[in-house]
Structure 1
């Protein structure tokens, strides 16, 4: 392993460990909220305050990344993540009742805001760590794999820490993991800063300018992703409710459910990594297939979401993890390798608006529907809609091609 490869591996490992802590904290907070309220709307709100800030701050995050430089924004956002995690930890011993719920939601809201800046900056920062343009696509998808490994490890870690140490200590340990990527960027990494292209002041530095210059293929990718996530990305917000119906009411059941989702996500990420350049040039095939897989799995989960069929339900959960993770990683990959360096921060912001904005709305919509028609009927309705959407994309856009840009 040469020096540059060691740098890339260090950044991957540090990011993966902080991701595990982040998902552990989110799982712990989700369990605290459902245990105290038994309200699916509160769970959906918890995920929405994580995802919905992207609609407001991902654009400014991308603009700031392209204007100030990705490394500077990356370090600031990581400190923001640490502070947000720490707020949730201190809320447990110092407050209770409605104030505690409000502070936990505020902590998650701040995590969502800081994450929008972190993702925009990290995507562009990756291009400074690779040695050639051909390395960028597989390196970006490596983050999807590491991210989902963190999702696999984090939820059971959060559930076990919650059971063994108590809520406050669990959240404090999870918050401390955010210090690892800060240390790696500040003290261990030496990116090739001369390769970064920043936007000049003026109208050309705006989010609208990036949208206009991105090209029709990338604009279609972003629009399709937003709609696909609206009908098929509600499971993060409703995971505690879905886990309880499928496996039973315990933190460990929630940990198992989210871990199976993560295992599917890892599998999907590995397939995408192996074929990253080929698939990124065929966005309709990649995104349409992911939407179709997710929709079929949602229909299956609606059918098998019973304790007596938990094995089949977990298999469907695995497929949902694979489909949604590949969709999210796919749009991130396509928006980076298909755009010039000068707008990649803003393209990452637009990608976040598409998948996390749509996902946040999806969770709220699914929670409201579940109160009216039940969880299984909601999964069947949204799964059927996703099935039509995925088939239409594959049929109508199968010839769509993307020209890859240099790093």
Structure 2
């Protein structure tokens, strides 16, 4: 009979997925709690945008460095250190509630989110390259990478209602404490339970050959276009994470549970798209124009539907489509840049991918918040949705038929 440890080693890819999923659920519980605290403490949508910006915009500062370090120092080393950084950043948020009040509390909550954003840049970059060390053959990499999109969005589904219920029943401290504790599980998993194929890792050298600019030049025109298009598409269509409390308040209801329902519906759409992408990852990874164009178009149509806001049920249906479209855009961009890039570049490609979709998303949140203050939320949906519709249609018409070659 096999021992539990031998079963874990045999199914180490699943073990890593489960640990990451549980950590993600705790993280989204904490994000929901922080968003609700900031929304009801300030009643200012710009504060929500700053909160999401503190999570996403650090990618503009350090994702390139994270990619360089991952390729140069090794993905496993960077992954473990980044996970400890996530735990520390989340712990700051947990102590902010009982110890501080007013502006000091808000400042520490934003600092906590900023540190989590910095550490996440390194964690996501290293994890992408680390996944290639857990698979037994290259053909297993596309479905395994897209499995993280499904697991991530399951965490998004479970985490927000958990955060909302904890807020209602016990207050925000418990939600933020769970967020901090959840990072200990993937740390223990990587250190003690996994046995990756370390001999397969290809590292870059020091100097200009290992720089971000070198990776940009060497990756090829097809991947450079994928990164550029992803950044622009996220700029006009990836503002819902930062403005979710405002959107839920105006379209669904103002309680923490309503926020949980709204974000969970988005997560259901994301999970659905993730499952479709996982099952078709082999051929979709070679057709980035088709994949990213359709996802951008779907997101834009959902935003235009949000502008109508006919009733609560219709708004939730549009939230489902927004979740599907944005999840496909982010997971699809990550899939293409990993599968079609040389192994020695994958850390830096993951870093540039984060700059594109999280940096673009952070700026998108600030843009949408500013527009909502001046022209209203529905008009903001209509304006950005119209831009996204034109962008998605242009990508399909120009690049929908083109294919990339995988790296073997």
1:221 is the counterpart of 2:229: no
2-structure distance, mates of 1:228, 1:395: 16
Residues of 1 paired with 2:36 and 2:97: CA distance?
13
What displacement does 1:301 show? 1.0
1:18 equivalent in alignment to 2:20: no
- List per-residue Cα deviations over 1:108-142 (Å, max 9, x = no partner): 00110000000000000000000000000000000
Give the secondary structure class of the aligned counterpart of 2:134.
Answer: coil
Could you list the per-position Cα deviations for residues 216-267 of structure 1 after superposition, in whole angstroms to 9, with x for gaps in the alignment?
A: 0000000000000000000001000000011111000000000000000000
3-state SS of 1:362 partner: helix
1:117 aligns with 2:118: no
Task: Indicate which of 172, 191, 199 corresponds to 2:196.
Answer: 191
Task: Find the counterpart in structure 2 of residue 180 from structure 1.
Answer: 185
Cα distance in structure 2, aligned partners of 1:175 and 1:158: 13
Which residue number corresponds to residue 401 of structure 2?
399
The answer on whether the counterparts of 1:217 and 1:400 sit within 8 Å (CA) in structure 2 is no
**Alpha-carbon distance change, 2 to 31 in structure 1, aligned in 2, over 3 angstroms:** same
Verify: 1:303 aligned to 2:296, yes or no: no
Indicate if the aligned counterparts of 2:8 and 2:193 stay in contact, CA closer than 8 A: no
Matching of residues 198-213 of structure 1 within 5 Å:
198-213=203-218
How much does 1:2 deviate? 7.5
Aligned to 2:132: 127
**Which residue number in structure 1 is paired with residue 166 of structure 2?**
161
The match for 1:332 is 334
Q: 1:125 to 1:255 in 2, by over 3 A?
A: same
CA deviation map 1:323-350 (0-9, x unaligned): 0001000000001001011010000000
Q: In structure 2, which of residues 254, 273, 279 is the aligned counterpart of residue 274 of structure 1? A: 279
- Provide the C-alpha distance between the structure 2 equivalents of 1:383 and 1:4, rounded to a whole number of angstroms: 46
Does the alignment pair 1:345 with 2:350? Answer: no
Cα drift, residue 277 of structure 1: 1.0
- Report whether the alignment pairs 1:233 with 2:233: no
Q: Per-residue CA shift, 1:255-304, capped at 9, x if unaligned?
A: 00000000000000000001001101000000000000000000001101
CA distance in 1, matches of 2:167, 2:69: 37
Say whether the 8 Å CA contact 2:8–2:15 is kept in structure 1: no
Q: What is aligned with 1:64?
A: 69
Q: Which runs of 4+ in 1 moved over 2 A?
A: 1-5
Secondary structure of 1:15's counterpart equals helix
CA distance in 2, matches of 1:398, 1:159: 41
Match of 1:373 in 2: 375
Question: Are 2:104 and 1:99 equivalent residues in the alignment?
Answer: yes
Give the alignment's Cα RMSD to 1 decimal: 1.0
Which position in structure 1 is the counterpart of 2:291? 286
Q: Distance in 1 between matches of 2:224 and 2:401?
A: 16
Shift in Å at residue 169 of structure 1? 2.0
Other-structure match for 1:52 = 57
CA displacement, residues 39-66 of structure 1 (integer Å, 9 cap, x when unaligned): 0000001001100000010000000000
TM-superposed CA distance for 1:210, in Å, is 0.4
Q: What does residue 145 of structure 2 align with?
A: 140
Task: Give, in whole Å, the separation in 2 of the partners of 1:273 and 1:68.
Answer: 30
Answer whether contact 1:4 1:131 (CA < 8 A) is retained: no
Question: What's the TM-score, normalizing by structure 1?
Answer: 0.98
Gaps of 5+ in 1: none
Contact 1:4 1:129 in 2 (8 A): no
Equivalenced residues, count: 403
CA contact (8 A) 2:9 2:194 kept: no
